Amino acid sequence: LCVPAVPVLFKQALKNTDVEEGESISLRCELTKADATVVWKKGEATLQASAKYEMKQKGTVAELVIHNAEPEDA
C-alpha cells in the first residue's frame, strides 16, 4: 500500500503590513493541514524564538510576532 502525503499549501498567505518603528507586528498565514511544521525565515536566515521573535501555531494558523520592529525587519 502506497499512500502519498498531501502537500501542505497556504489557504491564506501573508499580507504586506505596515508598522511604526518600535511597535509589535503580527504576521499570520493559514495552512491546509493542521499542525504542519512552519519555519519562519528572513531572506536565507531562519528565525529563532527570542525576545524579538515570537512564534505561535494553533491548528492551521501560524503566527510570527515581531517585537520592537525596526527598519531592518522589513
Q: Give the pLDDT confidence score for residue 65 in this predicted structure.
A: 97
Q: Give the pLDDT confidence score for residue 4 in this predicted structure.
A: 86
What are the structural domain ranges in the chain? 1-73
Q: Give the pLDDT confidence score for residue 49 in this predicted structure.
A: 95
**β-bridge partners, 41:** 46
Q: What is the mean pLDDT of each run of 10 residues along the chain (74 residues)?
A: 86 86 94 90 94 95 95 90
Report the CATH superfamily, name and number, of domain 1-73: Immunoglobulins (2.60.40.10)
The Cα-based distances of 5 to 2, 8, 33, 34 in angstroms read 10, 9, 11, 14
